[in-house]
Chain A
Amino acid sequence: MANITNFKQIGVSFLALSLLIPMVINSVNAQQVTINGAGATFPFPLIDTWRVEYKKVNPDVNVNYASIGSGGGIKQFLEKTVDFGATDAPLSESEFTRAGNPVHIPETIGSVVLSYNIPGIQDNSLKLSGPVIADIFLGKITNWNDPKIQELNPNLALPSNTINVVHRSDGSGTTFVFTDYLSKVSQEWSEKIGTSKSVPWPTGIGAPGNEGVSASILGSENSIGYVELAYALTTKMNYASIQNKDGSFVLPSINSTMSAVSATASSLPQGSDRWNNVSLTNAAGPNSYPISSFSYIVLYKELGTNPSINQQKAKSIVDFISWVITDGQKFSEPLGYVPLPAPVVELNKQTLNSLTLNGKPISTN
């Protein structure tokens, strides 16, 4: 009996304490701002690092980021339930129109590599060209010793085995970038399949996530698939060098991706323009790696379009993103992301300066 009373007392005191806790937190939180974002899974490790590191720069700002996928991020951005959205593909024509006044802020760059597992062919020595990759993923080239592959690799002894094609089964920005590239280099791909986050694959095995694709390639000989650069680097898979627009074979790396972005940077639109035709794939330049893309943060040009954004929050958002595109970029490389080249940072700064709250520029508020 005594025990029961004790338990009751303990329970009651816990209850009392738990009622107090929110009050205490609230009083501490009075000066704090929470920025909510949602979207793409691809930049999540980087955004999560920024969240932690930015806390050291400005302890009063909390960043929440839910990596629910680009589609979900855009949806929540349009419904104004988050302060910023993140997406691997730029807003489409119709999404842009629905948003009214969105701005695109490229926050990092990713590249997609063709990983392979062919017995006896090591050291990233396989060479492929865009049309050959398209034919493999269309199911037209079915064996590794196909003359079209052999022609690109005169020094390799390619096996006669069937090619196991592995692709992503889930909708993803990685697939978007990869199919965007294939649509540019193969007429047949662009007519039959097209560019999207999930496409009607004519052949191959679908595996969920970069992890699933990596596991399928590593586990099965004679297979080929596409993954993010970071995954290929950390899982020590072999990957192919790809013939770029200028005709040279380029291995994927941070540097070769940077060259591709720099080649495109001068033709980028303003932050508040439509970005749906922006694409870094198949970029010109002798050192440009041909399959890469921006990942974007999307905001409203007039931040007040989202009624939950007040002056203090608007300033925090702008400060955070300014940090992300400058100091924050130093965290990209160790995680396998490509830092933004200077012209893109400059463009982003202009975009941020053009943002307003209730018609007034943020910085002078």
Chain B
Amino acid sequence: MNSKDHKAEVAHLIRSKSNKFNTGDKFFKALVFGASVYALFMVVLVFYALSEGSIPIFLKEGVNFITGTDWNSVEGRESFGALPYIIGTLISSSIAMAIAVPISIGIAIFVNEMVSGKIGTVLSFIVELLAAVPSIIYGLWALFVFRFWIRDYVELPLHNTFGDNLYIFARTPFGLDVFTAGIVLAIMIIPIISAVSREVIKAVPHSQKEAAYALGATRWEMVKTAILPYGKSGLLGASFLGLGRAIGETILVTMIIGNAVGLSAIPTSLFSPSQTLSSIIANEFNEASGDFHLSALIGLGLVLFMMTLFINVISIFIVSKVTKSNSNLRE
């Protein structure tokens, strides 16, 4: 009797508990589902708005909008081609990546492996502080201070020494060009890449490192054989995060890239002015009054959107491939 009662009670408890649990669970599920639908919804909405806005320009220019180099918004002479800005975007972010990735991974390795305790904490705190500086601050600093250093101590010596022979140093430097823009972009994305890289390297198991040391590896060999292969996918992910920032950065680039238009925006040397997709939108959107001009700028937005989407897909693909080959390695 007693035990029967007890059993019933327990059964009841379980039932009510599981019911309660069920409603909470359902609610939670709906909540997170809603959140993820929101993200998807936004992407679709942005894509729709950009596509709709750029219909007139694609009808007018066709493929020429992607491959053309003219950019003329003068009434009656409208002609729009995005190619110079696509090239400008790719070159400035490539320069930024070439500089930022080695430095950021260097910082991350140094903080995790080379120094211990307080110095590492302080250093990583400072790097994170840099990540919190708004890009307009970097832009102002670059415009009023940094570009003169670059011009006088880097660009002019390079130009004077190699300018006659190497076309990439050929143009008389002015300080407002793709090279400066790339460097300042690098400075801006270093904190982001290094902060993520630091976490990635921190996650490398001690057993891996100790195994390397046990085999008689020096510190560099340990980094090379244990940390870098293990963290490869994470480090790649960190770099793509930085690339995404560099490609979309607007105000900083507008201030220092020199904002050339049309054919002259395709840089012929490192010291040529150029223009990126986002900077020309920022430059011209306010005063764009003609229908085609506005539509062309929205079209550039669509190109930029597709470019970032493409890079993200590629990065996911590469990261997953690297992870797979890593796990094969471990087996």
* B-binding residues in A (CB < 8 A): 68-72, 74-75, 92, 95, 162, 164, 169-173, 193-208, 212, 215-216, 219-220
Contacts and interface: CB of A to CB of B under 8 A. Distances in A.
B260 interface: yes
Contact of B287 (A71, A194, A204, A215): A71
Nearest to A205: B258
B172 interface: yes
* Most chain A CB neighbours (cut-off 10 Å) among B264, B283, B287: B287
A198 B260 contact: no
A171 B74 contact: no
Interface string B176-195: 10000000000000000000
Given A201-B264, A206-B273, A215-B143, A68 B72 contact: no
A74 B77 CA distance: 21
A322 B284 CA distance: 33
A172 B259 CA distance: 14
Given A200-B72, A212-B255, A215-B143, A171 B287 contact: yes
Given A169-B259, A208-B259, A196 B71 contact: no
B283 A170 contact: yes
A45 B172 CA distance: 37
11 contacts: A169-B259, A170-B286, A171-B286, A173-B287, A196-B73, A197-B73, A200-B262, A204-B260, A206-B259, A206-B283, A208-B283
B253 to A, nearest CB: 11
Given A216-B176, A220-B174, A171 B283 contact: yes
A279 to B, nearest CB: 15
A199 B286 contact: no
Contacts of A202: 264
A170 B262 contact: no
**Contact residues of A: prevailing secondary structure:** loop
Instruction: Report, nearest first, the 9 A-B pairs whose CB atoms are least far apart.
Output: A171-B287, A206-B259, A169-B259, A69-B286, A71-B289, A194-B74, A196-B74, A71-B287, A205-B258
Interface string B153-174: 0000000000000000000101
A220 B155 CA distance: 14
A197 B287 contact: yes
B319 interface: no
Interface string B130-157: 0000000000000110011000000000
A206 B148 contact: no
B175 A201 contact: no
A207 B287 CA distance: 15
Contacts of A195: 74
Contacts, number: 101
B288 A171 contact: yes
B92 to A, nearest CB: 15
Contacts of B89: none
A88 to B, nearest CB: 9
* Most chain A CB neighbours (cut-off 10 Å) among B176, B264, B289: B289
Interface residues of B, number: 34
B255 A75 contact: no
B148 A219 contact: yes
A171 B260 CA distance: 13
Contacts of A193: 74
B143 A172 contact: no
Given A198-B283, A200-B70, A215-B143, A206 B289 contact: no
A96 to B, nearest CB: 13
A68 B264 CA distance: 28
Contact of B284 (A95, A171, A201, A203): A171
Nearest to B256: A207
A198 B77 CA distance: 12
Contacts of A205: 174, 176, 258-260, 273
A193 B147 CA distance: 30
A207 B260 CA distance: 9
Contacts of A70: 287, 289
A205 B275 CA distance: 10
Contacts of B331: none
B258 A206 contact: yes
B75 interface: yes
A215 B144 contact: yes
A196 to B, nearest CB: 4
Contacts of B259: 169, 205-208
Interface string B58-102: 000000000000111111110000000000000000000000000
Contacts of A206: 258-261, 273, 275, 283
A201 B261 CA distance: 6
B174 A164 contact: yes
A95 B289 CA distance: 9
A216 B147 CA distance: 10
B197 interface: no
Contacts of B77: 194
Contacts of B239: none
Contacts of A212: 143, 255
B172 A162 contact: yes
Contacts of A72: 286-287
Given A197-B289, A200-B74, 5 more contacts: A69-B286, A72-B286, A162-B172, A203-B264, A208-B254
Nearest to A72: B286
Contacts of A95: 289
Contact of B260 (A173, A194, A201): A201
Contacts of B148: 219
Contacts of A71: 286-289
Contacts of B174: 164, 205, 220
A104 to B, nearest CB: 16
B285 to A, nearest CB: 8
A200 B284 CA distance: 12
Interface string B272-316: 010100010011101111000000000000000000000000000
Contacts of B286: 68-69, 71-72, 170-171
Nearest to B145: A219
A196 B292 CA distance: 14
Contacts of A203: 264
A198 B254 contact: no
Contacts of A69: 286-287
B175 A219 contact: yes
Contacts of A92: 75, 289
A75 B279 CA distance: 22
